[in-house]
Chains A and B, each alone.
Chain A
């Protein structure tokens, strides 16, 4: 019951700080664009040239094309959802640790682990609600327009949430150590936009550098650190009904488990 109170409080805080509303407004904006696009784009497309004769493709009968569209959308959603979720939830723990509020929380018969768990689950709730809203909305638009109800597209909610859970772990560690939501956001964005893409294209770099040390370093980093890009590809494969590459899933998961452990250890022994 205390845990529920903590989760509810975290969600309310998200509402009060307008992060959830901001998130929802942006999602709604893109859903409206999706609706307009669905209305404007014809479902029957004519292709080919005059000599060969015109072939018409009816998208509604071509699930491959619809999946392609959904997969492309997935890439965009993955990107937008992560950027927004990190931004929306980076301040939750630093706010909790503010002088005068953490003292009060810790004086209650609630363990530090319960407090941390309440904050983690509260943040997760904020993200899941928003991501699910957007994905289900897009799924409805595509389904209503084309008659293709690809269930795998709904599964993207899970893969994006999973990526968020993985990235939230280092966010906690940085937040607890620095009390700074700005630093948390910066580090995460640098990781997602700079480090992760570099590691993703490490083969090319290794070929260029022609150095064994570079190879060892980059490979090690790649396998240790979480893989948001590769997890994005997992979402893509999911939508396209292709077989999934589980390596990024479990290796990112291992990283997350280690980071959650570290965060718990930090939070348990910290003086406030």
Chain B
């Protein structure tokens, strides 16, 4: 079952003004039950806008979407969602516990369950000693923790997090990752936005890459990072122009990086063909290594190719 189903969502800000910005164009994606889904993209790609469309904080210019089987924006959908906005602000005159109480009321949690739930969520994020401290005294990391507790206060089916590890120290990041994985293990669905790819790689089951409002890749981390085999070949000697022209003509991607040749090739046979060509041209092979692409490499690669279009 799809927990989030978006169908050709387009959002244009200030459509009539001179400063019209197409933040999303025809974005379609599905998030499945029980997965951790990561929406990635450079700053300004439209990640936050997509989340805001799902929660009707902004209205889509066109397209439709459903969340938890209900139309987006409906109270039925919102009642089962927890959300951590980016740069979230909490009323700084309230204490951590008061903030959780306030949002549990707005979320419709019955009052007899409230106190136990507030205490439980504070404990979950390791903030129980700070429950009576005013928010204005919290550090950035503590704010993020109370934000997570807030997102989980009504025991949501779906948790939407916008840059959850932003401003959190490495230890805190690990804790957040562990918490998200525990949520998944409990059968919850997690949707997160991030530009921190190395982290996403560690926990996301599936990711989508957004650039300038367009979806350019979607799949499991494994699918996206092993689409092509990349090899590094160390050589001694000059790569001749003749070789380059030959590669260009046969559409073999070879580029030089730190004195090595980096080749994207379909299989090992193609690798050996390139090695043969190099040796025939009188170059000496000093090393050959398979280069597994990290999500980050793939991301940079894909985005720069996309931007060059």
Selected from B52, B76, B108, the residue in CB contact (under 8 A) with A103 is: B52
A64 within 8 A of B: no
B79 pairs with A271, CB closer than 8 A: no
Q: Which residues of B contact A271 (CB under 8 A)?
A: 13, 52, 57-59
Contact of A108 among B59, B78, B86 (CB under 8 A): B78
Which A residues are in CB contact (< 8 Å) with B93? 12-13, 16-17
Chain B interface SS verdict (over half): loop
The reply on A28 being an interface residue by CB < 8 A is no
Binds B, one of A1-9, A81-89, A151-159, A249-257: A1-9
Contacts of B150 in A (CB 8 A): 104
Complex alpha-carbon distance, A108 and B151, angstroms = 10
Of the candidates A12, A103, A108, A269, which one forms a contact with B103 in the assembled complex, judged by CB atoms under 8 Å apart? A108
Given A100-B87, A271-B57, residue A2 in contact with residue B106 (CB < 8 A): yes
Least Cβ–Cβ distance between B74 and chain A, in angstroms:
8
Known: A102-B57, A271-B13. A108 touches B89 (CB 8 A): no
Contact size range, B: 20 to 34
Report the bound CA distance from A271 to B60 in whole Å.
10
Residues of B within 8 A of A2 (CB): 105-106, 108
- Whether A105 sits at the interface, judged by CB under 8 Å, is yes
Distance between Cα atoms of A107 and B84 in the complex (Å): 9
- By size class, the interface of chain A is 20 to 34
Using CB atoms, name the residue of chain B closest to A118. B106
**CA of A269 to CA of B58, assembled, Å:** 8
Docked pose: A269 CA to B88 CA in angstroms: 22
Instruction: A104 to B106: give the CA distance in the assembly, Å.
Output: 10
Enumerate B257-294 residues with CB–CB distance to A below 8 Å: none
CB distance from B200 to the nearest CB of A (A): 22
Q: In the complex the two chains form, is B105's CB within 8 Å of A1's CB?
A: yes
CA distance A1 to B150 in the complex (A): 19
Give B residues with C-beta under 8 Å from A.
13, 52, 55-59, 75-76, 78-79, 81, 83, 85-91, 93-94, 102-103, 105-108, 150, 160
With A6-B106, A107-B57 already in contact, 15 other A-B pairs whose C-beta atoms are closer than 8 Å? A1-B105, A5-B102, A5-B106, A9-B102, A12-B94, A16-B91, A100-B89, A103-B55, A104-B88, A105-B106, A107-B78, A109-B79, A271-B13, A271-B59, A272-B52
* 16 A-B contacts (beta carbon < 8 Å): A16-B93, A99-B87, A100-B87, A101-B89, A104-B85, A105-B106, A106-B57, A107-B55, A107-B83, A108-B78, A108-B107, A109-B75, A109-B78, A111-B75, A269-B59, A271-B59
